[in-house]
A and B are shown apart, each in its own frame.
Chain A
């Protein structure tokens, strides 16, 4: 019996015609998806837009800064954009994009184009947050928050997204002295089971090591895929962070307004830097990362900027 040579052997058997016709009729009818329970609307959304971030219950009630750099950046930017919102603690599993933060618009939207109030509002991923904020913001005093940075700030931004991020990943996830902090922030809220917690810790550590290895090959001490803290060159990671902070401090020293690139007010770049430096000073007391931070920040006004920053942006209000 001749057949196509590539087909696997178990597929050589033909499906009999009547059976084939019978199964062609399936599915007979597809029902529409059920609506979410009514109470879920009240629990997950309110009259204010809700930003879902990594946070703790009491912190979220007060609107305190999130402990995740990416979430903190967007939280800061939304504040800068003058948007009124509340925050709720959440995890990556809740997000439609698979990562936090995301924003749920208010239940009864002020926009006339939206549908009836019974339909749940569509979540907005992090990449569209600024356009959403700009649309909501009707007053003329909207600050300049263009996410497309000019070339020079893109170059300096890579210091934050590469060097500072790697140092933060290493300090929080791979440094054994911060295991207790890691468990308090990310692991214990996720599950109460010991087995799940141990597995999660392993997975997070491995993912962090892979992230560091993939962004920069010179921080790796292994030719194969890096999957553990041993394969990451700790000294190189912190040396790069120290250099990055020194460079950023000297850049800030050039500016006369106290914000980067001589801007009138804080922008996307300032918020990105703040999201890392604030967390370094908040959580990493006396570790290798804080030593790196002090070494870098001592030369410029970066530390002063951070001290004033919380009041300026009014994050703690």
Chain B
């Protein structure tokens, strides 16, 4: 059977816009023959693992997600055709027991994979996702190009939020001017206001003049004319140096194919996209020419200009109903109160689905409870409607008026007084 690799679609002149997807494509292109795998352009909401890249192996009917897991899956389950093919790459996939020298190389590969995941990914997300200029001009259009229509409204913001969380510990959230502008506008108005009160006292400055004053005060000074990336350039260079210094010392050509592909995935996305604030590319081209060379050579070797990748159309998740359901789920995940319960339930459901594909079937209690609860709720609503419809429009149908018997006691205190008075008379 043919392996199906679900990845984000192409962008920036590369086969995918995500680093791990890029690495997975490169790995499959190097280790397998063209007939052994298919690439399916997808998004996390379309696959049960909720994460890309994801490998679906129809022969074992398993879903494997994440680059590391995919690489080990290919090593343990090589497709039958690649073993007897004369491809020079397949030898690396079918060596069963690691020898002494291989053990060290495998250890290095594992360590480089962890290092790239821990340090290169946050740096890349600073450049492509956190920086709002780059996100708006390069990344968001790339996502819009690969997603069917309503999905660009839900998925790229979710991806961006996740990427921003990954880079949070670097403390560079000020690159995100979208988030910053809201708070500065408030602050600006506030400080402006107090300054005016101090200066003019009772006199009020007309609106247009106030705007002009603010403009001029904002333009004054070098800091006002610099972009956030320029202001933070020194710290950004430090952050990039910490990661690239380590990566630049490695001879990537001699590394195992797994680590080499992943390194290329991250480095290619740092170097190749055409972004309006190219600080990361400038740093790489200025100080790490070896890495740039590696990126370009690897691309020319693995993805030659005329070479075609085995892209195929996705299945039912690409239909109008499938896309609509994915969009609805994306919207639901943004609703303030419900979102948390919803994501928890949905994650649990997906997890059971993935687990079921991997091993013995586990019971899915929640799936039975949900229709049951929904059914009970619907029944209750229906019964309520039926009861309401059964009620007469304005109270009871027949109104009976009984004439009250007039006695002295119905006159209240006065009546009591009179009845007492009559009683006293008797």
Q: Could you list which residues of chain A lie within 8 angstroms of chain B, going by C-beta atoms?
A: 1-7, 11, 14-15, 17, 20, 151, 154-156, 158-159, 161-163, 210, 213-228, 230-231, 233, 235-236, 239-240, 243-244, 246-248, 250-251, 253-254, 299
Residue of A nearest to B245 (CB): A151
Across chains A and B, which 5 residue pairs bring their CB atoms closest together, nearest first? A218-B66, A247-B107, A6-B189, A247-B110, A158-B115
Give A7 to B50 CA distance when docked, in angstroms. Answer: 44
Q: In the complex the two chains form, is B197's CB within 8 Å of A14's CB?
A: yes
Residues of A within 8 A of B45 (CB): 223
Whether A223 pairs with B44 at a CB distance below 8 angstroms is: yes
Residue of A nearest to B65 (CB): A218
Please give the distance in Å from B314's CB to the nearest CB on chain A.
Answer: 17
Contact A151 B166 (CB under 8 A): no
- A14–B196 Cα distance when bound, in Å, is 11
Q: Are A224 and B51 in contact (CB under 8 A)?
A: no
List 20 A–B pairs whose Cβ atoms lie within 8 Å, in order of A's numbering.
A4-B205, A4-B207, A6-B188, A7-B189, A15-B197, A17-B202, A151-B245, A151-B249, A155-B114, A158-B117, A159-B111, A210-B165, A217-B51, A222-B343, A222-B350, A225-B162, A230-B351, A233-B351, A236-B68, A251-B104
Task: Tell me, rounded to whole Å, the shortest Cβ–Cβ distance linking A126 to chain B.
Answer: 15
> Is the beta-carbon distance between B344 and A4 smaller than 8 angstroms?
no
The reply to whether B347 and A218 contact each other, CB–CB distance below 8 Å, is no
B333 A20 Cβ-Cβ under 8 A: no
For the complex, give the distance between the alpha carbons of A233 and B66 in Å: 10
Q: Is B381 part of the contact surface with A, judged by Cβ < 8 Å?
A: no
CB of B178 within 8 A of chain A? no
B residues less than 8 Å from A216 (CB atoms): 117-118
Asked if residues A250 and B103 are in contact (CB atoms below 8 Å), the reply is: yes
| Neighbouring A residues of B202 by C-beta, 8 Å | 14, 17
Assembly CA distance A233 to B108 (angstroms): 24
For window 147-180 of B, CB contacts with A under 8 Å fall at 155, 158-159, 161-162, 165-166, 168
With a CB–CB cut-off of 8 A, which chain B residues contact A236?
65-66, 68-69
Q: Nearest chain B CB to A263's CB is how many angstroms away?
A: 17
Question: Across the interface, do A218 and B20 meet the contact criterion of CB distance under 8 Å?
Answer: yes
Is B408 located at the chain interface by the 8 A CB criterion?
no
User: Once the chains are docked, how many angstroms separate the CA of A253 from the CA of B172?
Assistant: 40
**Is A227 a contact of B118 with CB atoms below 8 Å?**
no
For residue A254, give the distance in angstroms from its CB to the closest CB of chain B.
6
Assess whether B417 is interfacial by the CB under 8 Å rule.
no
- In the bound assembly, the distance between CA atoms of A11 and B202 in angstroms comes to 14
Q: Which residue of A lies closest to B249 (CB)?
A: A151
Cβ contacts under 8 Å, A253 to chain B: 103
A243 cross-chain contacts in B, Cβ below 8 A: 68, 110
Residues of B within 8 Å of A221, CB to CB, are 49-51, 347, 350-351, 354
Task: Tell which of A17, A215, A219, A223 touches B333, judged by Cβ atoms closer than 8 Å.
Answer: A223
Apart from A3-B204, A162-B118, A223-B51, 4 more pairs, CB < 8 Å:
A4-B207, A217-B121, A233-B351, A250-B104
Task: Determine whether B193 belongs to the interface, using a CB cutoff of 8 Å to chain A.
Answer: yes
Whether the pair A214, B103 counts as a contact (CB closer than 8 A) is: no
Taking CB atoms, residues of chain B closer than 8 Å to A215 are 117-118, 166
